[in-house]
Amino acid sequence: MCVALVFGWGCGGGESEVKESRLVFARGADARKLDPADVDDGESVNVLAQVCEGLVRFAPGSLKIEPWLAKSYQISPDGLEYTFELREGVTFHDGSGLTAESAAFAFLRQMDPAHPAHFREADFQYWRALFDDIEAVEVDAPMTLRFRLRQPNAALLASLATFPAWLISPGALDAYGEGLQQHPVGTGPYRFVSWQPGETIVLERNDSYWGPRAGFERIIFKVTPENQVRLLELLNGVIDGADGLQPADVLALENDPHFAVYRGGTMNFGYLAFNSDVPVLADSRVREAIALAIDRDAIVRIGLDGAGVAADYPLPPGFLGRPDGPGDLPYDPERARRLLEGVVFDHPIELSTFTAPRIYFPDPVRVASLIRDDLQRVGIPVEVVSRDFQSHLTAVRSGEHEMALLGWIGDNGDPDNFLTVLLGSAGAVPGSATNISFYRNPEFDALLAAARVATDVSEREALYREALKLWRKDLPLIPLVYGEQLVVWSADVGGFSAHPTGEIRLGTAFRHDSDR
Amino acid sequence: MTAIGKAGVVTLLRTALILVIGSWIVFVAVRVIPGDGIALRSRYADAGRAAAIRSELGLDRPYLSQYIAMIGDFFSGDWGRSMVTGRPVAGEFFRRFGATFELICGGIVVGTFIGIGVVFIADGFRSRLARGIPRIVAEVGLVVPLFWLGLIGIYTGGHLLGIFPMGGRAQVGADTGAGFTGLLTLDSLLRGDIAAFIAALHYLVLPVAVLSLFPAAVVASILQARLEDDRTATLRIALVAKGVGPVRLRMVHLLRLCAPVLVAALGTQFGALLGGAVITETVFSWPGVGSYLIQGVLNRDLFLVQNSLLFLLLAIALVLALSDILTRWLGGPSDATV
């Protein structure tokens, strides 16, 4: 303690410290808003992850939930009451203390349409999707916050670790009004300083942070739209770290001692969906044959340049209910050919894809051509249709496709967040479909509904196992890959770890002394 | 006098026609472009909510009343808010406009100088080979993709040689020093800050060099064509016979002769130049309206795209009208010399 104090003073005085204690991270796009309750893009979340914190959080590098701004929590046996005991001595960046009252602000504003911070233009989509079972948020004692639920929701604790549940100071509303969406006031290791839209976001160390002191004086998030330029900036030391680089370029950096490559953010998967309303795809032999004909390892190797893993379940590894070993999706073009005997294709099947890179498909057009070649080899004629991402999304959500490539990036690490969204019949409404296979199976829906309210983990696990068996039998979509997020840092930046959720946490990052 | 008056009326009518047709095209384009920005705003799609937002924004009203509202909002400065960032569009657009204006002015000025220089220098040599050079500049400048050229520029100037920054307008995290005009070169001069002026120029060199290639090509090809035409040849012989020196011949007489066509050409190519600026801004991380518009289109950010396009349309129409007037004004004396 004493040594740390002396060391801390000693460091603060040096002239070189100013230059050394700045971290610059570049990405392809700017943050959209800096309001945890009203964003859904990685660029915004990665800034907020330094500024804001939640009651609980995902433990570093895992999907395990650990208490964070709450020092402990209790869930009632019926699963209807969640009680959080808050940590003492935590202050928001505006100096106000963390109490149950101030913690409740972040939730009440999303929940109550009459709340002054429930801005008319804001969307609060995650509240509707993940937190809708919350009936009331109550201040039980000055440091005790309680959530009351309409029905049990086994995913709620994990949802409370995600960014829409991160806390912001109620004082931000008084200070900035609607501008709080551009001025995050959290409790995190760094505080917000300034934002030049399209250029930079500047954060500085929060000297009154309740946890370990942050390693940098300032963090700057910079926008460099062009991937190749971002790579050059990294090679020339203009920036310390970057994401969104082309996997092929990152492979070249992996053997370079000046850089460290982190692979993380595997809480996603890219898939091929069959529109079950298309007659030829309603034939289970055709779906089975397509699954057998696709060489998923080749997709990872060629389509993703190795930045991922072949997927054999519609759930990423480590998720509840997902069997550990390899799934039952072999590559067997011979068997595919045999299955198709007698099936006549009077027109090529359309395969819709898109042009913008996503974490699960860095080059979706290349993935589509690989699949087309695989399928044509077993006698299935395929025509690839490629659109930009927004047009593609509109088309597939309306069910205008036959086969389509798409993916999903999970929010809270719970199986329900994948299976209900992508395969539940509630999501199969043309026009706003998230279930773009338009798979409607009452038995499957019933299993998921039971798993949602089950409070016993092994019971939930068994239900999801059953659901996965149904998925395999009906095969409404074929999982292809689990994409990897690639983050590259200059080798002298330490204390960084990759998270399955894909969020970048820099609270523990620092710069090694060796170069000085 | 009546001829000039008639010409003025023609210019006015033409400008009005461009604005009306152009604004309808903008209006229809942002509405029929595939991909519904409102429905796509949520990962968890919600058709009912999207319909409610659409009606709140007046997007379910008849097209004519929407069009009138669009024009009214544009001129009253009520440009709405970005559906993605929630920021007012007008504020953000004009905050970035200076950056784009600085880039485009640089591109036009430098490009015109290069175009004129190349043609006149080549014209000074009698060899066929040298006379082919302007042609090459013209072809290359019209064909080479700016995107590729920008990357090559950053790779050589920034990475290999290390003498130019790799994009942006100022050092990362430093105060850009943008002031009243939003043009860093002008703002720094107004403050009398020479160091900041040089820094701003330093950041301008590569993107302006890339952007200037297109106007250079336009100027070179037009100038070259004019020099080769018969009328010019006759004038030339007459001037040389009068004893006019080679420099004076080109910089005064020939340039004056070509000025109207050059102005007209740059005026009509202004739109293409804006398009070039959009690409240049993206490659060079230049925080202007071009990259703003690109993001808007990708996100289907309706009001952002609509009002930005209307403003650019207005700018293009005004530049065209101005170049019209300027051409006619320049046209008088140059015709008289012949």
Query: Is residue A448 a contact partner of residue A467, using CB atoms and an 8 Å limit?
Result: yes
Q: Are B34 and A226 an interchain contact pair (Cβ–Cβ within 8 Å)?
A: no
Q: Are B44 and A421 an interchain contact pair (Cβ–Cβ within 8 Å)?
A: yes
A32 touches chain B (CB under 8 A): yes
Query: Is residue A133 a contact partner of residue A151, using CB atoms and an 8 Å limit?
Result: yes
Local confidence band at B121 (pLDDT 50, 70, 90 cut-offs): confident
Residue A121: its pLDDT value, please?
A: 82
Question: Cα–Cα–Cα angle for B234, B238, B244, nearest 5°?
Answer: 130
Query: Is residue A133 a contact partner of residue A156, using CB atoms and an 8 Å limit?
Result: yes
The CA distance from B238 to B268, in Å, is: 32
Copy the structure tokens of residue B42: 């949520």
Residue of B nearest to A429 (CA): B47
The CA distance from B170 to B193, in Å, is: 15
**Dihedral, B242, B246, B249, B252 alpha carbons, nearest 10:** -140
Q: Mean pLDDT across chain B, nearest whole number?
A: 87
Q: Which residues make Cβ contacts (< 8 Å) with residue B331, sequence separation at least 6?
A: B260
Beta-sheet pairing, A308-310 with A477-483: antiparallel
| Model confidence, pTM | 0.89
B chain contacts of residue A181, beta-carbon cutoff 8 Å: 86
**Residue of A23, A162, A432 to mutate when probing chain B, most B C-beta within 10 A:** A432
Question: Cα–Cα–Cα angle for B238, B243, B244, nearest 5°?
Answer: 85
What mean pLDDT do residues B129-144 have? 83
* Class of residue A384 by CB neighbours under 10 A (exposed 0-12, middle 13-18, buried 19+): middle
Run of H or E residues at A22: strand A22-27
Nearest to B281 by CA among B141, B117, B133, B96: B96
Q: What is the tens place of the pLDDT at every residue in B78-93? A: 999 998 898 999 999 9
Q: Which residues make Cβ contacts (< 8 Å) with residue A429, sequence separation at least 6?
A: B47
Q: Are B151 and A200 an interchain contact pair (Cβ–Cβ within 8 Å)?
A: no
Copy the structure tokens of residue B316: 């293009």
Nearest to A290 by CA among A208, A372, A357, A213: A372
Residue A12: its pLDDT value, please?
A: 34
Which ranges in A149-196 belong to alpha helices (H)? 156-160, 171-176
Residue B132: its pLDDT value, please?
A: 82
Q: How many angstroms away from the CA of A426 is the closest CA of chain B?
A: 11
Residue A2: its pLDDT value, please?
A: 35
A132 touches chain B (CB under 8 A): no
Q: How many angstroms away from the CA of B174 is the closest CA of chain A?
A: 10
Q: Are B158 and A395 an interchain contact pair (Cβ–Cβ within 8 Å)?
A: no
**Dihedral, B144, B145, B148, B153 alpha carbons, nearest 10:** 60
Residue A488: its pLDDT value, please?
A: 96
Residue B2: its pLDDT value, please?
A: 67
Higher pLDDT, A177 or B251: A177
DSSP for A44-90 reads HHHHHHHH---SEEEPTTSS-EEESSEEEEEE-TTS-EEEEEEPTT-
Q: Is it the case that residue B249 has pLDDT exceeding 60?
A: yes
Among A196, A394, A429, the residue with its CB nearest the CB of B36 is A394
ipTM of the complex: 0.88
For chain B, what percent of residues have pLDDT higher than 90? 46
* Backbone φ and ψ of A323, nearest 5°: -60, 150
Copy the structure tokens of residue B25: 């095209």
Residue A515: its pLDDT value, please?
A: 47
Copy the structure tokens of residue B307: 């009002």
Beta-sheet pairing, A349-354 with A382-387: parallel
Q: How many angstroms away from the CA of A331 is the closest CA of chain B?
A: 32
Among B95, B154, B173, the residue with its CB nearest the CB of A220 is B173
Q: Are A431 and B39 an interchain contact pair (Cβ–Cβ within 8 Å)?
A: yes
Q: Characterize A27-43 residue by residue with b for buried, 16 or more Cβ atoms within 10 angstroms of its Cβ, and e for exposed.
A: bbbbbbbbbbbbbbebb
Q: What is the pLDDT along chain A (516 residues), one digit of tens a residue?
A: 333 333 333 333 333 344 458 999 999 999 999 999 999 888 999 999 999 999 999 998 888 899 999 999 999 999 999 999 999 999 999 999 999 999 999 999 999 999 999 998 888 889 988 999 999 999 999 999 999 999 999 999 999 999 999 999 999 999 999 999 999 999 999 999 999 999 999 999 999 999 999 999 999 999 999 999 999 999 999 999 999 898 889 988 999 999 999 988 779 999 999 999 999 999 999 999 999 999 999 999 999 999 999 999 999 988 999 998 888 999 999 999 999 998 999 899 999 999 888 889 999 999 999 999 999 999 999 999 999 888 899 899 999 999 999 999 998 989 999 999 999 998 998 888 999 999 999 999 999 999 999 988 999 999 999 999 999 999 999 999 999 989 999 999 998 888 888 889 999 999 987 544
